Amino acid sequence: MAPIEFTVNGRRQSVDVAPDTPLLWVLRDNLGLTGTKFGCGIAQCGSCTVHIDGAPTRSCVIGISTVAGKRVTTIEGLSRDRSHPVQRAWIAEDVPQCGYCQSGQIMAAVALLETTPNPTDADIDAAMTNICRCGTYQRIRTAIHRAAEGV
Amino acid sequence: MTAHVDVTRREFLQVASAAGATLVIGFTLPGCATPGAPAGPPLEPNAWLKIGTDESILVIVDRSEMGQGIATALPMLLAEELEADWSKIRIEFAPADPVYNHRLFGMQATGGSASIRAAWMPLRQAGAAAREVLIDAAAQTWEVDRAACRAENGAVIHSGGRRLTYGHLVATARTLPVPTEPPLKEPKDWKILGTRVPRLDTPPKVDGTAQFGIDVTVPGMLVAVVARCPVFGGKVASFDAAKAEAVPGVRHVVQISSGIAVVADGYWPAKTGRDALAVTWDEGPTAGISSASIGRLFAQRAARAGAVARNDGNADRALSGAASRLDAAYEAPFLAHATMEPMNCTAHVRPDGVDIWAPTQFQGAAHQVGAGIGGVPPEQVKVHTTYLGGGFGRRFELDFIQEALETSKAVGAPVKVVWSREDDTRHEFYRPASYHRLRAGLDGTGRPAAWTHRVVAPSIMARIFPDTVQNGLDGEAVEGAVEMPYGVPNVHVDYVLTDTGIPVGFWRSVNHSFNAFVVESFIDELAHAAGQDPYEYRRGLLGNAPRYRRVLELAATQAGWGSPLPAGVFRGIAVHKSFEAYVAQVAEVSVGSEGAVRVHRVVCAVDCGPVVNPDTVEAQMQSGIVYGLTAALYGEIGIDRGRVVQGNFHDYPMLRMAEMPRVEVHIVPSTDSQGGVGEPGTPPIAPAVCNAIFAATGKRIRKLPIGQVT
Ligand code: FES
Ligand code: FES
């Protein structure tokens, strides 16, 4: 097995694992980036959402070999100090409950706002398909609107 | 994982050495440390507080934070009486120690929506005691009359204008006795309690630094995935580890009491190895059961009289004399908790001691299990509680902790056991399935003269606390049915304990979750039979239940009960008390041409007595509604050949953003007795929605989940 190289949060990484290992587990177990969460393993819940070359992606079903040469951003790479507008909006609305889904929710929201800076409720419904078992959807919606308005 | 950016080196070392690993729970707001602060040990007036010479206030949170906001609410209780500067508060989760036993349960556990009720006095007293000793220290330092000193915002102030912050008083306060019966503040003087204090755990939950159980890493740790018998109660007959051992990264394959653990360098090789394992199971007697056989068992058992839980008047006689009668059977399925974070636990069993890092609701029992499996005295067992990615009662169980302990012991290394979502869905302690037989008799005016309710269900308590089940009566199994609040002269409620072979456990709002559905649907049936408005009918029968009536009226008023709605939208209402909190909900629902149910809006009124943090109360009502609505619309665990049919979110679906109704929460200002908020939002939503469906379609939903209404 040749090592697989890619970029995570601006840093070059090289890992030597089975090529079908999902990106999620490389991030969590090999690179120690545990902010990205495991919820289902079958692209159903969105807890594992990261950006690959800017696109929101459920990392639990992305084999690491397909990530070679790509640019991955995780929750840890969003800002150094929780200053990303989406993080600030999340804090202002006190969105998280247990918090487990929130890395994925935030990464999904960031991607939505990058393509749709002023999303309607229908846009939010369509883009935000991640599960929150604590039911924070109402606050997520409010926080996305708040981030869109400049927090 | 590196330590949190804001955790100073000193704090990090403190926490890390306490935890024996890089487990960093608390966080610090920037700019907390005072330059030139006096050095020295902190003031520790009791088990919950450490006041540092650097002005830091460390609150030891002795309940598990699983989303309900307790890691903010408990510090609020302390900080109010302490007159603390809120920006200086940090938190750390408590170790297992009897001093942290729950005042109502007598054990260190989190559940029953009872954390605030238990902590309300002791934590305020703990904060007040610290405040008093700090005032004593200032008076002594200044050599002034203590009556001229007061505490405010992290400092003691003398009427003459002198001021010393708490950090500067720590050294002196450490030498003084801590008062045992300090005075408590008048509610009118509260500055923190009753206000919308932002959650302390929000910052680490928006940047990925909050550490959940699944995130724990300790040096030398391996990861295990366990193969368990798909049939409840089954055992390993034989297994062949060769294929699992051939997976690169797999280090050990060991048998433990729940099955076969495949232990590897990470989750992926462990899971790959587990899936490659060849195991022959001895499935045992449960292999013959199915949802249909359980349904038949319940219906049979409903024909016999149960253990009597309530008996007012003579319901049978009143029924035979009634002007009209109603009979109905209701059913509710098994449900999985589906916490967002699958079950997991990390343990390190060594000859000299045991460490357990767990997202657990039950530290007290984890501690005992650690001592038992580790073969060491309890003093040598450390339980490190992480954040919980949801609990809902599932993390009150010990199965995942036991697996980590056994596997670590077997391989001689720290081991993190991680469950897949399928493991989590199929090896649960489910919300009991239940069957209900209801009868009512109305008099000529439509008022109920008799009400009988027979609950047929497995007993959770029979498994966990068997001594509480007396003569076949599990008082919890009929919770919410026994307290049926309506003014009916003849009431009979009984319980037929019926084990099914499927493990059952506490699921958010426990047995209230189905009893509320049944009681609040059947009273709606009575209203309809009486030809009366379902809200007015309830209201008229709640004359002796003022707190029920008050939330019912508030929800109806705020919802605009009786006012016109958009075409195709209909209202349903329900009210229920659980965990000493009273909640009424009005649901606005439409049913599409294909029978698809859409909930547009929920208006919720809650009376939980004195409120610690209204923002949390709102959040918990929203959360409880989503939890109950998910179950009402979709939730069903089916059994086939003794196995759970569902496995993941594609066949055990969750409510998502696009289905989320607008939820409005109204809190009754109340100085009455206190209730919880983590669970009481859940029970009323299923009947409120089902009653709206009846208004929309004339179809009475008597079996959950609702699914398509055809
Ligand atoms: S863990 Fe990837 S979508 Fe659920
Ligand atoms: S905050 Fe708990 S799952 Fe979303």
pLDDT tens readout for residues B500-516: 999 999 999 999 999 99
Q: Tell me, what amino acid is at A27?
A: L
Q: Tell me, what amino acid is at B295?
A: G
CB contacts under 8 A, A 38-57 vs B, are: 38-42, 44-45, 47
pLDDT of A68 strictly over 90: yes
The pLDDT score that the predictor gives to residue B1 is 30
Q: Which residue has the tokens 């918990």?
A: B620
Query: Does residue B220 share a domain with residue B184?
Result: no
pLDDT bin (cut points 50, 70, 90) of residue B6 is very low
pLDDT of B16 strictly over 80: no
Rounded-to-integer distance, Cα B549 and Cα B525, Å:
19
Mean pLDDT, rounded, for A69-81: 97
Query: Does residue B302 share a domain with residue B162?
Result: no
Mean pLDDT, rounded, for B123-135: 98
Q: pLDDT digits over A31-41, tens only? A: 999 999 999 99
The pair of three-digit structure tokens given for residue B606, joined into one six-digit string: 């809650």
Measure Cα distances from A83 to A88, B206, B306 in Å: 6, 10, 60
Inter-chain touch A79–B338, beta carbons under 8 Å: no
Q: Do the beta carbons of residue B209 and residue B158 sit within 8 Å? A: no
Cα B616 to ligand 2 centroid, rounded to whole Å:
14
Rounded-to-integer distance, Cα A42 and Cα A52, Å:
18
The pair of three-digit structure tokens given for residue B96, joined into one six-digit string: 């297992």
The number of distinct structural domains making up chain B is 3
Residue A13, chain B, CB below 8 Å: the answer is no
| Residue finishing a domain among B418, B448, B471 | B418
Query: Does residue B155 share a domain with residue B57?
Result: yes
Which alpha helices (DSSP H) does B223-320 contain, by range? 242-245, 267-276, 291-301, 315-320
Helix (H, G, I), strand (E, B) or coil at B287: helix
Mean pLDDT, rounded, for B138-159: 97
Contacts for B562 with CB less than 8 Å, ≥ 6 apart: B533, B535
| Residue finishing a domain among B387, B418, B449 | B418
Nearest CA, atom 3, ligand 1: A43
Burial grade of A7 (CB within 10 A; 0-12, 13-18, 19 or more): middle
Candidates A9, A30, A40, A110: best to mutate against B (most CBs of B within 10 A) is A40
In a domain, B499, yes or no: yes
The pLDDT score that the predictor gives to residue B38 is 75
Cα B641 to ligand 1 centroid, rounded to whole Å:
29
The pLDDT score that the predictor gives to residue B687 is 99
Rounded-to-integer distance, Cα B367 and Cα B363, Å:
6
* Superfamily of chain region A85-149: [2Fe-2S]-binding domain (1.10.150.120)
CB contacts, 8 Å: A82 with chain B: 203, 206-207
Mean pLDDT, rounded, for B303-313: 98
The pLDDT score that the predictor gives to residue B37 is 64
Burial grade of B209 (CB within 10 A; 0-12, 13-18, 19 or more): buried
Residue B662, chain A, CB below 8 Å: the answer is yes
In a domain, B645, yes or no: yes
In angstroms, how far is CA B306 from the centroid of its own chain?
Answer: 29
pLDDT of B222 strictly over 60: yes
Nearest CA, atom 4, ligand 2: A132
pLDDT of B67 strictly over 80: yes
> What is the CB neighbour count within 10 angstroms for residue B704?
26
Q: Do the beta carbons of residue B548 and residue B556 sit within 8 Å? A: no
Rounded-to-integer distance, Cα A73 and Cα A11, Å:
10
Any ligand 1 atom below 6 A from CB of A48: yes
Residue extent(s) of CATH 3.10.20.30 domains in chain A:
4-77
Strand order across the B43-46 sheet: B43-46, B49-51, B57-61, B89-93
- Report which of B9, B620, B27 is spatially closest to residue A82, judged by C-alpha positions: B27
Query: Does residue B581 share a domain with residue B492?
Result: yes
In a domain, B710, yes or no: no
Q: pLDDT digits over B226-257, tens only? A: 999 999 999 999 999 999 999 999 999 999 99
Q: Which residues pair with A3 in a beta bridge?
A: none
The architecture (CATH level 2) of A4-77 comes to Roll (3.10)
Rounded-to-integer distance, Cα A147 and Cα B36, Å:
39
% of chain B exceeding 70 in pLDDT: 95
- Report which of B276, B291, B288, B274 is spatially closest to residue B234, judged by C-alpha positions: B288
CATH code, B366: 3.30.365.10
Question: Which residue segment(s) compose the domain that B251 sits in?
Answer: 213-284+343-418
Closest ligand to residue A99's CA? 2
Rounded-to-integer distance, Cα B625 and Cα A138, Å:
12
Q: Is the dihedral of CA B118, B120, B121, B124 positive or negative?
A: positive
Q: What's the whole-model pTM score?
A: 0.95
Query: Does residue B556 share a domain with residue B479?
Result: yes
Query: Does residue B298 share a domain with residue B175?
Result: no
In a domain, B492, yes or no: yes
Rounded-to-integer distance, Cα B22 and Cα B386, Å:
11
Query: Does residue B680 share a domain with residue B541?
Result: yes
Q: pLDDT digits over B342-394, tens only? A: 999 999 999 999 999 999 999 999 999 999 999 999 999 999 999 999 999 99
> What is the CB neighbour count within 10 angstroms for residue B316?
14
Measure Cα distances from B310 to B103, B269, B473, B494, B521 in Å: 28, 55, 11, 7, 20
Closest ligand to residue A131's CA? 2
Query: Does residue B237 share a domain with residue B329?
Result: no
State chain B's mean pLDDT as an integer: 94
In a domain, B704, yes or no: no
Measure Cα distances from A30 to A22, A60, B325 in Å: 11, 14, 67
Q: pLDDT digits over B405-460, tens only? A: 999 999 999 999 999 999 999 999 999 999 999 999 999 999 999 999 999 999 99
Rounded-to-integer distance, Cα B480 and Cα B513, Å:
9
Of A44, A47, A101, the residue with max ligand 2 atoms within 8 A of its CB, to mutate for a pocket test, comes to A101
Rounded-to-integer distance, Cα B421 and Cα B389, Å:
13
The pair of three-digit structure tokens given for residue B434, joined into one six-digit string: 């239940």
In a domain, B69, yes or no: yes
Helix (H, G, I), strand (E, B) or coil at B304: coil
CB contacts, 8 Å: B203 with chain A: 82, 91
B242-260: b or e for each residue (b if 16 or more CB lie within 10 Å)?
A: eebeebebbbbbbebebbb
Query: Does residue B384 share a domain with residue B256?
Result: yes
Query: Does residue B482 share a domain with residue B363?
Result: no
Instruction: Tell me: ipTM over 0.90.
Output: yes
Q: Are strands B381-385 and B353-358 parallel, antiparallel or unpaired?
A: parallel
Residue A76, chain B, CB below 8 Å: the answer is yes
pLDDT of B13 strictly over 50: no
Contacts for A2 with CB less than 8 Å, ≥ 6 apart: A16
Helix (H, G, I), strand (E, B) or coil at B600: strand
The pLDDT score that the predictor gives to residue A2 is 83
Mean pLDDT, rounded, for B683-702: 98
pLDDT bin (cut points 50, 70, 90) of residue B710 is confident
- Nearest residue on chain A to B647, alpha-carbon basis: A40
The pair of three-digit structure tokens given for residue B30, joined into one six-digit string: 């920037």
Q: pLDDT digits over A107-137, tens only? A: 999 999 999 999 999 999 999 999 999 999 9
Q: Which residues of chain A form beta strands (DSSP E)?
A: 4-8, 11-15, 49-52, 55-58, 71-73
